[in-house]
Structure 1
Amino acid sequence: MPGSALFRTGDGWAVYRLEGGKARRTPVKIGLRSATAAQVLEGLDAGQRVIVQPDDRIVDGTRISAP
Protein backbone atom coordinates (compact mmCIF):
# COMPACT_ATOMS: atom_id res chain seq x y z
CA MET A 1 0.00 0.00 0.00
CA PRO A 2 1.19 3.56 -0.55
CA GLY A 3 2.98 4.79 2.53
CA SER A 4 1.19 8.12 2.16
CA ALA A 5 -2.10 6.46 3.15
CA LEU A 6 -0.76 5.62 6.64
CA PHE A 7 -0.90 7.88 9.68
CA ARG A 8 0.11 7.46 13.31
CA THR A 9 -2.48 6.80 16.01
CA GLY A 10 -1.13 6.66 19.53
CA ASP A 11 1.14 3.63 19.49
CA GLY A 12 0.13 2.25 16.09
CA TRP A 13 -0.84 2.97 12.50
CA ALA A 14 -4.15 3.50 10.70
CA VAL A 15 -5.61 4.31 7.30
CA TYR A 16 -8.91 5.66 6.07
CA ARG A 17 -10.62 3.03 3.94
CA LEU A 18 -13.66 3.66 1.77
CA GLU A 19 -16.85 1.92 2.83
CA GLY A 20 -20.29 2.83 1.55
CA GLY A 21 -19.14 6.23 0.31
CA LYS A 22 -17.62 7.18 3.66
CA ALA A 23 -14.13 7.30 5.13
CA ARG A 24 -13.63 4.73 7.89
CA ARG A 25 -10.65 5.01 10.21
CA THR A 26 -9.09 1.55 10.30
CA PRO A 27 -6.21 0.45 12.54
CA VAL A 28 -3.62 -1.60 10.67
CA LYS A 29 -0.55 -3.60 11.58
CA ILE A 30 2.31 -3.03 9.17
CA GLY A 31 5.34 -5.13 8.34
CA LEU A 32 8.07 -4.01 5.98
CA ARG A 33 8.03 -0.31 5.15
CA SER A 34 9.98 1.84 2.71
CA ALA A 35 9.84 5.55 1.93
CA THR A 36 6.95 4.99 -0.51
CA ALA A 37 5.15 1.77 0.45
CA ALA A 38 4.19 -0.42 3.40
CA GLN A 39 3.22 -4.05 3.85
CA VAL A 40 -0.13 -4.41 5.65
CA LEU A 41 -0.24 -7.53 7.83
CA GLU A 42 -3.61 -6.97 9.53
CA GLY A 43 -6.60 -4.65 9.32
CA LEU A 44 -7.40 -4.60 5.59
CA ASP A 45 -8.55 -7.17 3.08
CA ALA A 46 -7.09 -7.40 -0.42
CA GLY A 47 -8.82 -4.99 -2.78
CA GLN A 48 -10.13 -2.57 -0.15
CA ARG A 49 -9.72 1.04 -1.23
CA VAL A 50 -7.90 3.54 0.96
CA ILE A 51 -7.52 7.30 0.91
CA VAL A 52 -4.01 8.36 -0.08
CA GLN A 53 -2.68 11.51 1.62
CA PRO A 54 -5.70 12.16 3.84
CA ASP A 55 -5.74 15.72 5.17
CA ASP A 56 -7.15 17.17 8.39
CA ARG A 57 -10.64 17.50 6.89
CA ILE A 58 -11.01 13.71 6.73
CA VAL A 59 -12.40 12.09 9.88
CA ASP A 60 -14.22 8.84 10.49
CA GLY A 61 -17.56 9.05 8.67
CA THR A 62 -16.66 11.85 6.22
CA ARG A 63 -18.62 11.38 2.99
CA ILE A 64 -16.28 10.69 0.08
CA SER A 65 -17.08 10.69 -3.62
CA ALA A 66 -14.58 8.39 -5.26
CA PRO A 67 -13.93 8.24 -9.00
Structure 2
Amino acid sequence: MLNGVLSTADLLAATSYESVGALRRSLDKQGVPYFLGRDGPWTTIELVNSAKLKDANSDNERYSPEML
Protein backbone atom coordinates (compact mmCIF):
# COMPACT_ATOMS: atom_id res chain seq x y z
CA MET A 1 0.00 0.00 0.00
CA LEU A 2 1.27 3.41 -0.94
CA ASN A 3 -0.14 6.57 0.69
CA GLY A 4 -3.52 5.02 1.45
CA VAL A 5 -3.91 3.49 -2.03
CA LEU A 6 -4.98 -0.15 -2.02
CA SER A 7 -3.78 -1.97 -5.11
CA THR A 8 -5.44 -5.04 -6.58
CA ALA A 9 -2.80 -7.18 -4.86
CA ASP A 10 -3.53 -5.45 -1.53
CA LEU A 11 -7.28 -6.00 -1.94
CA LEU A 12 -6.86 -9.66 -2.92
CA ALA A 13 -4.61 -10.28 0.08
CA ALA A 14 -6.94 -8.46 2.48
CA THR A 15 -10.07 -10.25 1.28
CA SER A 16 -8.61 -13.70 0.49
CA TYR A 17 -10.33 -13.69 -2.90
CA GLU A 18 -8.36 -15.52 -5.56
CA SER A 19 -9.82 -13.89 -8.66
CA VAL A 20 -10.22 -10.29 -9.73
CA GLY A 21 -13.80 -11.02 -10.79
CA ALA A 22 -14.77 -12.21 -7.32
CA LEU A 23 -13.04 -9.19 -5.80
CA ARG A 24 -14.96 -6.78 -8.07
CA ARG A 25 -18.28 -8.45 -7.25
CA SER A 26 -17.53 -8.09 -3.55
CA LEU A 27 -16.53 -4.43 -3.87
CA ASP A 28 -19.72 -3.75 -5.84
CA LYS A 29 -21.87 -5.60 -3.29
CA GLN A 30 -20.27 -3.70 -0.40
CA GLY A 31 -20.61 -0.35 -2.15
CA VAL A 32 -16.87 0.34 -2.16
CA PRO A 33 -15.97 2.81 -4.93
CA TYR A 34 -12.99 1.68 -6.97
CA PHE A 35 -11.10 2.41 -10.15
CA LEU A 36 -10.00 -0.08 -12.77
CA GLY A 37 -6.29 -0.25 -13.37
CA ARG A 38 -4.16 -2.45 -15.57
CA ASP A 39 -4.14 -5.26 -12.98
CA GLY A 40 -7.71 -4.81 -11.75
CA PRO A 41 -9.55 -2.68 -9.22
CA TRP A 42 -7.81 -0.30 -6.86
CA THR A 43 -9.20 2.04 -4.22
CA THR A 44 -8.15 4.02 -1.16
CA ILE A 45 -8.60 3.61 2.58
CA GLU A 46 -10.79 6.74 2.53
CA LEU A 47 -13.12 5.26 -0.09
CA VAL A 48 -13.37 1.99 1.85
CA ASN A 49 -14.27 3.93 4.99
CA SER A 50 -16.86 6.00 3.11
CA ALA A 51 -18.71 2.89 1.89
CA LYS A 52 -21.65 1.47 3.79
CA LEU A 53 -19.96 -1.85 4.45
CA LYS A 54 -22.16 -4.75 5.40
CA ASP A 55 -20.39 -5.95 8.54
CA ALA A 56 -22.15 -7.91 11.23
CA ASN A 57 -19.52 -6.99 13.83
CA SER A 58 -19.74 -3.22 13.92
CA ASP A 59 -21.58 -0.43 12.17
CA ASN A 60 -18.91 2.13 13.01
CA GLU A 61 -15.68 0.24 12.43
CA ARG A 62 -13.18 2.18 10.40
CA TYR A 63 -10.23 0.63 8.65
CA SER A 64 -6.70 1.93 8.87
CA PRO A 65 -3.57 1.14 6.86
CA GLU A 66 -2.18 -0.76 9.83
CA MET A 67 -4.98 -3.34 9.53
CA LEU A 68 -3.44 -4.63 6.29
- TM-score, normalized by length of structure 2? 0.27
Per chain length, whose mean CA-contact separation is higher, i.e. which structure has more relative contact order (CA < 8 Å, sep 6+)?
1
More helix per residue: 1 or 2? 2
